[in-house]
A and B are shown apart, each in its own frame.
Chain A
Amino acid sequence: MKANLVQAINMALNQEMSKDKSVILLGEDIGIDGGVFRVTEGLYQKYKDRVFDTPLAESGIVGTSIGLALNGLKPVAEIQFEGFIMPALDQLISHASRIRNRSRGAFSVPIVIRSPIGGGIHALEHHSDSPETYFVHTPGLKVVIPSRPYDAKGLLISAIRDPDPVIFFEPKKIYRAFKEEVPEKEYTIPLGKANIIQEGDDLTIITYGSWVRETLKAVEGLKYSIEIIDLRTLKPLDVKTIIDSVSRTGRCVIVHEAPKTLGLAAEIIAIINEKALLSLQAPIERVTGYDTIVPLPKLEDYYMPNTERIKKSIEKVMNF
C-alpha cells in the first residue's frame, strides 16, 4: 500500500504487536489520542492492555522501560519531542546502555525509544532539535534515523527485535511529506547497513533522515556523477559502504542538520582519514546546522542546511 512515514511506522508497530505479545507501547498521549503526530493511532483501541498513556515524565518513561525489559517485555516508548528527551538522558546513558556490560550479560535492555527529530516545521523552542550525537557517542546504544516510509517500517521492526537499546529518531519534517509503496507483508532492514540511493563516480554525498530528500533535490540537473549514501543507522555506522564509495569517488560532502562541532560528519571525516585519506582528491565538505540554538520560525531557515548550501559545497569539492 502507499504509505507515508507515519503510516509505515504505525504498520510496523501494529505488526510487531500482533506477532509478539511481549511488545508494549508507552508514552505521553500515545493511547486514545494516538500520539501528537498520530503515529500510534488506533493501536490503543486494538491492544488496550498493551498501550499505556504515562504520566508526563520522560525519565520515568525510559526508566520504567528499562525495568519492563529486565522482566521480559519489549517496550517501545515514545518521547513526544526530541527536545524533551533530555530528562531521560540519565536513564539512557547511566543505565540502558550499561546494564548488559555491568552484569556481564546476565541482564539486557531490549528497548526502543522512538522520538521525532529535527526542524523544518516552524514549531516552538525544543521542538526542532537534532541531538543524535549524544546517543551516537554513548557506547551501548544504537541509533537509527530513517529517510523514507519503506525503510522506516523495516528498520523499526529490526529495532524492536534487537537485543539492545535502540534510539529510533523519526524526521518529523517528512512525517507526511510523501508516500511510497510499503509492502503490507512483514520485512526487516538490518541495522547498521547504509543504502546507496543513487550511484555515481565523481562525488559521494553522505547524509541521513530528511536530508536525503533535500540532497536529491540539490543534485538534480547537476552535470556530475554523484553517489548518495543514506546512512539509515548512525550507530553502528556502515563504515564499509562509506569507505568503498569514497575510495572510488575521491570526493565527499556530508550533510546533516545537527550542529557542526562533533556532529556525525566529524566522525565520518575521521574515519575517512584513517581508511581512505590517500584516495581523496579534495578536502571533505560539511553542510550542517550552525553551532547555535535552533532558531524560532522567523530565523529557522537560516540555520538549516539547504539545497543552495549543498550545491555550493559540491562545486567547491569538484573544483578544488
Chain B
Amino acid sequence: MPKKIIQNFNIEFLSILDENGKADSKLMPKLSNNDIKLMYELMKKTRIFDEKALKLQREGRLGTYASSLGQEAAQIGSAYALDKEDFIFPSFREQGVYLLRGMPIDQYLAYWRGDERGMYSTKKVNMFTVTIPVGTHMLHAAGFGWASKIKKESRVVVTYFGDGATSEGDFHEAMNFASVFEIPLIFICQNNQYAISVPVSKQTKSATIAQKAIAYGMYGIKVDGNDVFAMYKSTKEAVERAKKGKPTLIEAFTYRRNDHTTSDDAKKYRNDKELKQWDKKDPIERLKKYMITKKLWTKEYEEELDRKFNDEMDEAIKKMESIEDPKKEDILNYVYAELDENLKEQKEELK
C-alpha cells in the first residue's frame, strides 16, 4: 500500500497595473479608452462619496458608517465586468458597487442615516440590501443563483464580503452549495486585511484565502485588489466560468485604510508605518498614472470631475435631508405582507 501524493494545487496571483501606473500589455483586458475613463470616474465618485459620508457622520448628520477608502478598485473593477441583469449581494462597505449600479445616492445615504426606506431602491438596480451580520448573505446569493439556474436565466450572481467572513460557517456552506449545484456565482472576498482589529494572519492559517476554493472543487484566484484592470479581468473570466455552472472565488488583496466604521479607532491596533505603505498603493493614483501616459488624464479633467461629483453629492445630501420622516406606523407595517390582529391592536396602541 503506497503512501503518495494524490492531489496538488496551485494558486495564481494576477496583477496587471503596477504602482507606477505601468500595465502589462500581455495581460491587459480589452477595454476602450472610454471604459477606462468611466472606471476612473466611478472610483473618484466612490472616494468623494466616502469623504462626504464621513464628514456627515462627524457632524451628526449620518449614523455609523463603514468607509471604503482604498478599496475602490476592488469594487469598481469587479462590478464593471458585470451586466445590468447580473444580481449582486453586497455586505456593508460596497458603496462603489451601489454607485456604479446607479443606486439613488440620497436613498443610500438615507439608509445610513437610519431610515429603512433607503433600501427599497436596491432591487431596482439588481442589488440586494446591505447585510450587517458578517458572512451570512453569501447563502442568499447562492440561493438566488440557484434559482437563476433552475429558471434557466442567463444572468450570474455576485457576492462581496471581507476576509473576516471567511471564518463563518455560512461562507463554507455557500461555497459548497454553489459548487455542488453548479450555481452561476462569483464570490468576491475583499481581503482588506482586517476584521475590525483582527488581522488576517489571526483569521486564518491559509496562505491565501483564494485556496479555500480548492476544498470545494472550485477555481480560486488571488488578485491585486488595488489594480482595477486585474479586478476587471478576473471578474470577466469568472462570469464566463459562472455561465458554465462553475463558481469562482476571487480574493481581492487590498487594504482598509480607514477605521472599520466611524465607531472604531484603528490607531489602537495598527501603526502609521503600515498605513503609509498602503497610501503608496492607492488604486486611484495608480490608474491616474496610467491614464497620464495614455494621455487620458489632464488637470482640467480632474478638476471637472471633482466639481461634478462634489456638486452631485451636495445635491444628494440636500435631497436626503429633505426626505420627510417616516410614519411611526411603519415600524409595524412591514413585518408581514398583511397586519395580523395582534399587530393591528399594537398599531392602535402606537397611535
Contact = CB atoms under 8 A, between A and B. Distances in A.
A68 B146 contact: yes
A148 B325 CA distance: 48
A55 B146 CA distance: 14
Interface string B153-193: 00000000000000001100110110011000000000000
Contact of B120 (A69, A104, A192): A104
B55 interface: no
A271 B83 CA distance: 53
A106 B129 CA distance: 10
Given A67-B141, A68-B144, A106 B342 contact: no
Interface residues of A, number: 46
A55 B336 contact: no
Given A60-B170, A139-B335, A103 B140 contact: no
B169 A67 contact: no
B119 A103 contact: yes
B147 interface: yes
Nearest to B179: A55
A163 B338 CA distance: 9
A66 B177 contact: no
Quick one: which of A67, A69, A72, A164 has the most chain B CB within 10 A? A67
A138 to B, nearest CB: 10
A2 B323 CA distance: 60
Given A70-B128, A103-B120, A63 B173 contact: yes
Given A54-B177, A90-B133, A104-B117, A63 B142 contact: yes
B18 to A, nearest CB: 38
Contacts of B176: 55, 57, 60
Interface string A69-105: 1111101000000000001001100110001111111
B146 A103 contact: no
B148 interface: yes
B303 interface: no
A237 B342 CA distance: 8
B197 interface: no
B61 interface: no
A237 B345 CA distance: 13
Interface of A: 24, 49-50, 52, 54-55, 57, 59-60, 63-73, 75, 87, 90-91, 94-95, 99-108, 139-140, 142, 163-164, 192, 236-237, 239-240
Interface of B: 87, 116-117, 119-123, 128-129, 131, 133, 136-137, 139-148, 150-151, 169-170, 173-174, 176-177, 180-181, 330, 334-337, 340-342
**10 shortest interchain CB distances as A-B pairs:** A67-B143, A63-B139, A71-B147, A60-B173, A64-B143, A236-B340, A67-B144, A67-B140, A163-B337, A101-B334
25 contacts: A49-B150, A54-B177, A55-B173, A55-B177, A55-B180, A63-B143, A64-B139, A67-B139, A67-B141, A67-B145, A68-B150, A69-B143, A71-B144, A71-B148, A75-B143, A90-B133, A91-B170, A106-B121, A106-B122, A106-B129, A107-B123, A140-B335, A163-B336, A236-B341, A240-B341
Given A64-B139, A99-B129, 13 more contacts: A60-B176, A63-B174, A64-B142, A65-B143, A67-B142, A87-B169, A91-B139, A94-B133, A95-B137, A100-B335, A104-B330, A106-B120, A237-B342
